[in-house]
Structure 1
Amino acid sequence: MKTVNEVSKLTGVSIRTLQYYDQIGLLKPAEYTESGYRLYDDAALEKLQQILLFKELEFPLKDIKDIINRSDFDKTKVLEQQIELLELKKEHIENLLNLCKYLKVRGVRKLDFTAFDSSKLDEYARKAKEQWGQTPAYKEYAEKSKNWTKEYESGLMADFTKLFEEFGTMKEMDPASKEVQSQVKRVQDFITENMYTCTNDILYGLGTGYVGGGELTENIEKMGGKGTAEFIFRAIKIYCGRPD
């Protein structure tokens, strides 16, 4: 048995975080001492390892809790899927140099690595992924992308980025205008053709992510300028018939 302090030193997870995991039912200690101190056995540590792996893959804690507590949770299968996703992230790092060279050839004036800090556009694929990547949309994306070469992927990413750059030139227009709505459809069609079937519901979900703050919003602002993310979301809401 290990105390919460020992587990914290072993894993790098803070004591406060371990206490929080206990409170929300994500990771319960094996037992408590008479004084109320938490004690963790090997099974609890193995579970913590799975939690940390899912966190590395950017799963919300709520989803992690649902996954690891499922009656059909298959540790071996999940580990295989985690390895595959981590390999995609590793591959993306290798692709960055090719992407930058491609963009330079296209005459891009400002080159910024952070605008593409994702694995095979995982900012978008992740929106279609549920539990651990077994929704029809995610399967469709995996099937379409399995034979991509690095050069093809780099070109695809650059073309997708260009759509957001073009949105940036439209910010002074009415988001309900024909031109802007046509641009929204171009985004939807691009995702459907190259990644997965982008229904209006999925498109709206992506739009909410664009204005959700953090890295994705920052990247869009770098592509199209300040205010682009909010403008795109307003246009998507109109396109999808969602009220303000």
Structure 2
Amino acid sequence: MRRGNKVLKVKEVSELIGISVRTLHHYDEIGLLSPEKMSGSGYRLYTDTDLEMLQQILFFKELGFPLKRIKDIINQPSFNRKEALETQRKMLLEKKKRLNQMLTLIDKTLKHEKGELELSNKERFEGFDFSKNPYEEEARERWGNEAVDKSKKKVSSMSTSEQKEMEGKMNAIYRRLAELRDSSPTSEESQEAIKEWYDFLNSNFGHQYSYEAFKGLGQMYVADERFTKNIDQFGEGLAKFMSEAMTAFADKNK
């Protein structure tokens, strides 16, 4: 791709894109987008590469990804911009399809309210789709299809009694961690308990989590309220404690 040589100051980027200077400064402060080039007077200078990354960030943001997660994704050594664009395109097309379905349903409902159209109870909910598992989607986005497919295959191959036994072990680990949540996540006892969680995941789901993936999973526990709510059923603040303990464990061992 042919690139221009011009670099832009933060105000020029703001005016070009329509994004506030404050937002760009925030991206810089949290390490999401920090241009390396500096002017003689100390101003950040945005290159074409920086603008490409900013576009990528805004695509992720449009799709509802939190900034913390966007940062994790684009900072991965394996991150590929072209592949990300292709995935984002598919996701946006799916979003467009869902929105069109919802708009059609709203139009039909409005006509029904005006007495212009009969709408059955079944037709009233045709635009809604609850068939997708949000946890599975989240995992697929974070680690790819292979890890999730292996996990599903391993669990589905278990008998009902084996699944219940595994669930019991998992809940026991959660309860042990919940008892420790007011202590330091880096303490010896906390690290022993979180290692038990790491070993449990690697032994029961048909996928070997790297330390980095384990750390990323912990970050998701606090970045995504669905995970937080689920985990905190065992004790308020457990998700945050586990996230910090998992980060410490991964950083120590990798």
> Structure 1 length normalisation: TM-score?
0.49
Which has the bigger relative contact order, CA under 8 A and spacing at least 6? 1
Q: Which has the larger radius of gyration?
A: 2
> Structure 2 length normalisation: TM-score?
0.47
